C-alpha cells in the first residue's frame, strides 16, 4: 500500500495553490478565469448574474466597480431568494449583493484563507491584487479538491512546475 503524501504546507500561498491547479483536475485556475467574461457590475441585473452563474456552473460571483475593485458578492442562495420575485422586471444586482466582503491576496497562505472560510462560515474569498482589483476567487470546493487529492496520496505540496 503506498504511503500517504505529506499534508499541504501551512505556508503554501493561494497563488501556489493556483499553480497546482494547472496540472490537476480541480480548478483553482479560476483565480485567472474571472476576467473572461468580466464579473458583473453593481448595475447589472439579477437575471444576468443568475444566467452567468448557471452557464459557468459556479455558486459565487464577485461584483466589481468600474476599476475592478470588489464591492460585493452574490451567491446562488442569494439568487434563489430573489429570482422568484423578478416578474420580468430588471433588478440591479447591488440590491441583493453582500457588501461586506472578506478578501485575500494571492500571497495569502492557503491555510489562512481556509481558516477565514471556516471562521466566518463563508463559501468563497475573492482574491485581490496590490491595487485591490479582482484577480479571481477561491472557494471551499477548491480546498475540498485539494484535500481529496491529498487523501488519495497525491503530493499536493509541489507547484505545478515541479511535477
Instruction: Cell 505545478: give the residue.
Output: 160
18 contact partners, CB below 8 Å, separation of at least 6: 28, 29, 31, 32, 106, 136
pTM: 0.70
Cβ contact 10:109 at 8 Å? yes
What are the boundaries of each domain within the chain? 14-157
Kindly give the confidence (pLDDT) of every residue in the chain, 163 residues in length, as a single tens digit, with 9 standing for 90 and above. Answer: 333 434 444 455 555 554 443 333 223 333 333 344 556 666 688 888 888 888 888 899 898 888 889 999 999 898 888 776 667 777 888 888 899 999 999 888 888 899 999 999 999 999 999 899 998 889 998 888 888 888 888 887 755 444 4
The CATH classification of domain 14-157, taken from the options 3.30.70.60, 3.30.420.140, 3.10.580.10, 3.30.428.10: 3.10.580.10
pLDDT of residue 12: 54
Residue 99's pLDDT is 92
Amino acid at each position: 500500500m503506498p504511503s500517504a503524501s505529506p499534508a499541504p504546507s501551512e505556508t503554501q500561498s493561494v497563488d501556489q495553490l493556483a499553480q497546482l491547479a494547472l496540472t490537476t483536475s480541480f480548478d483553482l485556475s479560476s483565480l485567472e478565469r474571472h476576467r473572461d467574461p468580466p464579473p458583473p457590475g453593481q448595475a447589472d441585473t439579477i437575471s444576468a448574474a443568475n444566467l452567468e452563474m448557471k452557464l459557468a456552473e459556479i455558486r459565487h460571483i464577485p461584483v466589481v466597480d468600474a476599476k475592478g475593485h470588489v464591492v460585493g458578492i452574490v451567491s446562488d442562495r442569494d439568487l434563489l431568494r430573489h429570482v422568484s420575485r423578478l416578474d420580468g422586471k430588471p433588478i440591479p444586482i447591488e440590491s441583493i449583493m453582500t457588501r461586506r466582503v472578506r478578501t485575500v491576496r494571492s500571497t495569502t497562505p492557503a491555510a489562512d484563507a481556509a481558516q477565514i472560510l471556516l471562521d466566518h462560515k463563508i463559501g468563497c474569498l475573492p482574491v485581490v491584487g496590490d491595487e485591490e482589483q479582482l484577480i479571481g476567487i477561491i472557494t471551499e470546493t477548491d480546498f475540498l479538491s485539494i484535500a481529496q487529492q491529498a487523501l488519495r496520496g497525491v503530493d499536493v505540496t509541489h507547484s505545478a512546475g515541479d511535477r
